[in-house]
Copies of this chain bind each other. A is one copy, B any other.
Amino acid sequence: MKLSRPHEECGIFGIHGHPEAANLTYLGLYALQHRGQESCGIVSSDGNTLYAHKRMGLVADVFGNQEIFKKLPGRSAIGHVRYSTAGASVEKNVQPIMVDYSRGSIAVAHNGNLVNAQLLKAELEAYGSIFQTTMDTEIIIHLLAVARTNSLVDRIVEALNRIKGAYCLLFLTETRMIAVRDPNGFRPLCLGKLGNSWVIASESCALDLIEAQFVREIEPGEMVVCTKEGDIKSLFPFKKIEPTPCIFEFVYFARPDSYIFGKNVYMARKELGRQLAREYKVDADVVIAVPDSGVPAAMGYAEESGVPFELGLIRNHYVGRTFIEPAQSIRHFGVKIKLNPVREILKDKRVVVIDDSIVRGTTSRKIVKMVRNAGAKAVHMLISSPPTSYPCYYGIDTPNRKELISSSHTVEEIRRYITADTLGYLSEEGLVGSIGVGNTNFCKACFAGEYPVAFPKPAQQPQMGLFEEEYKEND
């Protein structure tokens, strides 16, 4: 059972030149666990050989045994956490991918999604490539193997020039670690330093945990090469374009303690709440959040509106892990598994409930009902983002259009469906204005349907299928 939010698909972490590389990568992945809970893996290098450990499961489970680290020696390591996709044979899809090819060994960890994956795969197979996984990432490896240039950096550039889509990549060879962020800069990636060693992470919270110093973000289109000697080189090998980072990293993907585009996520979320209060003035006695991601916005709303903030819904700490619903013969407990209202707070009150998004509407409907059953006189649902009507093809696991309630219903229709007294979404201008990172041109695909990287025509859109296949929400 999962609450119906879109899911980030991956987080990556790497460190180069530290005697405890695998251990620190473990900690880094632990801090990035919110970006992917299905599987995780680490590949390390001792200068001559790559070593891997990867499994289905949470970081603390997969690496919860000191013995594992003895088998991950060396001063460099990269790691990956991945969001759950359904299906029996997913073990083989766990990252990082590690292969031997004509030039030696290489491992890759990838956060993102390629839009021309199927075309490239068909072409590679036609020339004799054999694929072992169903992941986009393996295409990059094959492109690398068939590249005609000579140096590793050139081969990577040659390979990446053929792919389109969203990617933050970490490569590890016997002696080098290389990080690349796509020219659109869809997903975040940052650079840190711990003593003399270089660290790369999807979010800054992973640097904090290992007490590494935040240096800067990796820029859109940048390639950073960490050499054997401990230096780093920065390259911009791709054609420069206007970056279009994902604004939803601020709305709900990133951890509140992370900094993205130089801005703290918690503060950004509070500002979204304040802006909501400016856009929607509601007569209410109390404002509550759908925990945990809605809390900062609810606090911002409370500050701006003067309506007191309370913890009206208590979250069970032990969700986040797998939860198997019991037999079908008893009714579906749904959201009650995760949340329990505090009657004392809600009884006879006019309640504002702040959440960060509505996907199918079923969860929101349950929450409204739960709050009303706890005695609320009125329930006003306010959402700290605009309606998301279009699926994401850049690394987020959204339902397909049919299931996105906003794609086929007006706000008023949704309000009736979720049985709220009021329903309000933050305006697009309100969102962009609140985040306000200079002139940044955020990607607006999911709410405006403007896709910054074109993808093959529908007939050739295997990703659609992919999303459907991988779709497993059942809130």
Contacts and interface: CB of A to CB of B under 8 A. Distances in A.
A46 interface: no
Nearest to A370: B208
B317 A19 contact: no
Given A33-B318, A60-B324, A129-B145, 14 more contacts: A23-B326, A30-B323, A34-B318, A61-B321, A61-B322, A100-B130, A100-B131, A101-B128, A128-B145, A210-B333, A257-B314, A266-B344, A267-B342, A321-B321
Given A27-B333, A322-B64, A345-B266, A256 B33 contact: no
Size category of the binding interface on chain A: 35 or more
A340 interface: yes
Interface stretch (A219-227, A292-300, A389-397, A407-415): A292-300
Contacts of A145: 125, 128-130
A185 to B, nearest CB: 22
A439 interface: no
Nearest to A208: B340
Contacts of A327: 20, 23, 66, 69
Contact of A330 (B24, B208, B296, B333): B24
Given A257-B341, A344-B264, A324 B66 contact: yes
Nearest 3 Cβ contacts at the A-B interface: A128-B146, A23-B326, A102-B125
Contacts of A26: 326
Nearest to A147: B128
B321 A20 contact: no
Contacts of A88: 71
Contacts of A309: 299
A324 B102 contact: no
18 contacts: A20-B329, A20-B330, A30-B318, A31-B340, A33-B318, A34-B318, A58-B318, A60-B323, A66-B326, A100-B131, A102-B125, A129-B130, A132-B132, A205-B314, A256-B314, A264-B344, A267-B342, A317-B320
A342 B256 contact: yes
Which residue among A129, A130, A210, A296 has the maximum number of chain B CB atoms within 10 Å of its CB? A130
A299 B311 contact: yes
A211 interface: yes
A7 interface: no
A342 B257 contact: yes
Nearest to A328: B66
A209 B337 contact: yes
A419 B208 CA distance: 22
Given A326-B69, A327-B69, A329-B19, A211 B336 contact: yes
A383 interface: no
Contact of A343 (B102, B127, B129, B264): B264
Contacts of A149: none
Interface string A101-130: 110000000000000000000100111111
A191 interface: no
A468 to B, nearest CB: 18
Interface string A339-365: 011111100000000000000000000
A330 B212 CA distance: 13
A316 interface: yes
A309 B291 CA distance: 17
